[in-house]
Chain A
Amino acid sequence: MQTPKTLYEKLVHSHTVCELDDQGHVLLYVDRQVLNEYTSPQAFSGLRDAGRELWRANTHLAVVDHVNSTEPKRVSVKSEEGGALQVNYFDKNCADFGIELFDILDSRQGIEHVVAPEQGFILPGMVVAAGDSHTTTYGALGALGFGIGTSEIEHLLATQTLIYKKLKTMRVNVEGKLGFGITSKDVVMELIRLIGASGATGYAIEFSGSTIHKMSVEARMTICNMAVEAGARGAYMAPDEAVFEYLKEKPKAPKGRLWLDAVAKWRELFTDEQAVFDKEIHIQADKIEPLVTWGTSPDQVVVISDQVPNPRDHIDESKRRGMERALNYMGIKAGTAMKDISITHAFIGSCTNARIEDLREVAKVLKGRQIAEGVRGMIVPGSSEVRAQAQKEGLADIFIQAGFEWRQSGCSMCLAMNDDVLNPGDRCASSTNRNFEGRQGAGVRTHLMSPAMVAASAVKGKLYDVRNLGDQ
């Protein structure tokens, strides 16, 4: 009998060209790469300088997302100098090397991790890498996705492989029913609260359990996406019927006979019953409450009904100092009730939470309500297709009537590389993934939470428990 294997081990094994040593290094074959305009330029220059060829062009998909404007009126002209430089060079690289590109004006443009699944570019059983840390998103489809740097992008363009060290494995089992108003964002934030910002460093996480498999595929993407904030270099779920249903009819998904063959093979993608993980975590879904970050690391997080914690309650000196620094940056005091923290901005967007289902949840909260006076609200759809769909369903009208700006797609204020940047001292309720110092602009204070919680906070002008908003 063969040794029982985790799905992670099966995915790595099925993509191993050869082993490179006895320390777990392998030459790993990569099926797909998604490219963006900001982490790829030096990789293409490297190829050009060395006179190397691209290994296989049709395994790469290029999307402009990080630097483009999200102004409601879409134009191809790039107003901002650095962005224009990158977008133009990206155009040239894709044209010269024969890579398919979704440029700013393309109706399929959007944030890479929203676009690639939406187009059926990512399939179960694949190994996928991209020059962006949130590539873990693709685990929701039963693929092994992980982020890489620019040197690795170049390596992948030239060789279709990466020098890869096998990770340890962690299983996060989530069981039970999520309460009213609790989303998959709260599930992943709960995990980060439990294990910390480096709790999964060196691990690939398999999410399992009834709660996960009852979720929509889009909700699962939020979890895999943000698992990297716990340090995971891979986060995945065994693909199930919901995944196959999601992928069926997607533009780039296989069709006809090929589809049937593919699904038959994808049904074999699961962890063997007796397989052993290096670490096991159990989360009870019905105990999870809406979470909000108070600090500058995603693990500085509490339940909305809680207070800002006190550094004095912690023995570990490094942790205490980190908390003091975070309180100082965030301009809040220990002991303050989270629900008493006023905001100046509300942002709904990012590869974590800007898919159509997220926007439907937000619309439920905002319908018939108004954003509080003095709060600027922005909604940036995850892709141009999501934007079109939201308009078709009448969601956009609800957002605009509530006083939100309804913008074009891009990474936008998740990392503020384009012109969507806030001012020092601004405080933003945000559906994004990182509350780092300066992330949304120098001196800007970010509070992470689910999209519905952002909407509720925008309505009240302060951090607010969406469950208390009354009849939704």
Chain B
Amino acid sequence: MDAFKTVSGKVAPMLASNIDTDVIMPKQFLKGIDRNGLDRGVFFDQRFLSTGELNPEFVLNKAKWRGAKFLAVGANFGCGSSREHAVWGLKQLGIRALIGTSFAGIFYDNCQRNGLLVIELENQDMARFSKQVATGQIVDLEIDLVQQLIKPSAKEHISFTLDPLRKEALLKGLDAIGSTLQYAELIKEFETKHLQQNPWLS
């Protein structure tokens, strides 16, 4: 997993509520057995015209936001299907962080596992921030995970909270399975007792 410390780039507005994973990664891109080539599928029905050309009206195709590394998103982003392909695709498209107020649970965990930083701001902070992003007042910014700051300019900072456990994994780019296997003995011990108490689970 890629580590995330400090990343600079453009932030693009995608502020509609309930943007679901079907919209982020449509079904026709789910048929592989690897993680490759998913950048093309991201927001496919909106990003491309039926002719296959880029849709000039779509936010990430506009000169101002082309190549954005961050998305300012509406509430409940990533709802719906568990498909991790949505997160793989976003990362392959170059997205490194999402900034919003609330994210769907499975999607949030999928982002965490792939080093895609998810920042949850308080409603008030997000309202101010999203307005500045939507109007283009804020385009470039730096996200500093160590200090937990969004920095649109040298003098402006928005701080955010994050579970220390998740922060550490992101900063170090930890392999979650490797970390958990350090508890293998403890898991075995638990399992033995659990199966003794519930023998129908054996």
Contact = CB atoms under 8 A, between A and B. Distances in A.
A94 interface: no
Interface string A432-472: 00101111001000000000000000000000000000000
Contacts of B16: 318, 321-322, 325
Contacts of A125: 198
Contacts, number: 189
Interface stretch (B19-27, B53-61, B62-70): B19-27
B31 A437 contact: no
A311 B74 CA distance: 18
A86 B82 contact: no
Nearest to A67: B31
Contacts of A155: 176-177, 180
A159 B200 contact: no
A341 interface: no
Contacts of A284: none
Given A17-B190, A155-B177, A23 B163 contact: yes
Contacts of A25: 163, 165
Interface string B89-119: 0000000000000111111011001100000
B151 interface: no
Interface core residue of A45, A56, A147, A258 (most chain B CB under 10 Å): A147
B104 to A, nearest CB: 6
The size bracket of the interface on B is 35 or more
A155 to B, nearest CB: 5
Interface stretch (A34-42, A179-187, A238-246): A34-42
B75 interface: yes
Contacts of B113: 149, 151-152
Contacts of B191: 29, 56, 160
Given A85-B32, A133-B106, A434-B80, 19 more contacts: A17-B186, A17-B190, A23-B165, A38-B30, A41-B33, A42-B84, A146-B106, A149-B107, A151-B113, A155-B176, A160-B187, A163-B176, A197-B17, A201-B104, A258-B200, A297-B17, A318-B75, A438-B23, A442-B45
The 7 closest A-B pairs by CB, nearest first: A82-B31, A151-B113, A198-B76, A41-B33, A149-B110, A149-B84, A254-B200
Interface of B: 15-18, 20, 22-23, 26-27, 30-35, 45, 74-76, 79-84, 87, 102-107, 109-110, 113-114, 163-165, 176-177, 180-181, 183-184, 186-187, 190-191, 194, 198-201
8 contacts: A17-B190, A29-B187, A31-B201, A39-B83, A45-B33, A81-B31, A231-B104, A438-B27
